[in-house]
Amino acid sequence: MFPMTSLIPAPLIVLLLKEELKSQKLMSGLNQLGIVAEPYQSDLGRVILMLMGFANSEQDEALYTFYNEQLGLFTALEIGVFQQQLDHLALRLYQELEAIRR
């Protein structure tokens, strides 16, 4: 299989990460209100990782765990800080994933 990263521009991946962060922040807020929304949560993370060239295999569970931990850290930020830093957070997550991929 050819590396998909040659076809997917970095700004698109960063945009997807930004949307994933917003979605996770919403889910976190709903959970805090006692609303169970997990059945409606997307699995965009696996798609993003595949588009970045990571294989979708069992050995990548550690990577997926890392990805979700980072999302959790970023979405735990206070809402004002989160919104102000959203572009930076998405870029930072992309850079961390790229460092792992290399």
What b-and-e string marks burial along 58-85, b requiring 16 or more CB atoms within 10 Å of the CB?
eebeebeeebeebbeebbebeeeebeee
pTM score, whole prediction: 0.86
Using one digit for the tens of pLDDT, what is the confidence trace for 75-102?
999 999 999 999 999 999 999 999 988 7
Average pLDDT over residues 62-68: 91
> In the chain, what is the straight-line distance between the N-terminal and C-terminal CA atoms, in Å?
18
What residues contact 13, with CB distance under 8 A and at least 6 apart? 48, 51, 52, 94
Assess contact for 93 and 70: CB atoms under 8 A. yes
